[in-house]
Amino acid sequence: AGDVVVAGKIPVDREENNLTAYAVTSGEIAWSRKFTGGTYRLAVHEKNDRIFSYLRGENQRGVQCFSVRDGSSLWSGATGVVMNAGKVTREDMLSRDGYSVACVDASSGETKWIYRTSTGPQGSYYGPGAMAVQGKLAIVGTMDGQVLALKW
């Protein structure tokens, strides 16, 4: 993302930072922070100025956004959709779990829409990674064996 490589890890203890940015040219730590969420599920804004991860908390699931520059929190929003996969366009951030796709404004975190992709029990079809996004079109495979084109 820009001039840093952002790496996440599962912390050994509660006090350990689990999201670190390294300067591309020197390998030195640019910033490091602790945050809740799965650091292995990250998406980067195309301008390389924001990082997105899933939001996890007590009765909360959604997306959170961080600054690439210093790792500061920019916004978080509960959508009810866990970000098992995420794609970012110029204006939108789409997060996907086994059952739904949520679209939020990439700048503010405001939820634009949520679409329920699967109606049946999870099967062995297209999981959360089966998603491609370009502009205002998302192609999404579903856990009940369908492929959907969503345009907004």
**pLDDT (tens digit per residue) in 9-49:** 776 676 676 788 999 999 999 998 887 655 567 888 878 78
Q: Which residues contact 127 (CB under 8 A, 6 or more apart)?
A: 84, 98, 141, 143
CA distance 23 to 106: 24
CA distance 18 to 7: 8
Residue 118 and residue 98 in contact, taking contact as beta carbons nearer than 8 Å: yes
pTM: 0.82
pLDDT given for residue 53 in this prediction: 86
CA distance 21 to 64: 17
pLDDT digits (tens, 9 = 90+) for 120-132: 665 556 777 788 8
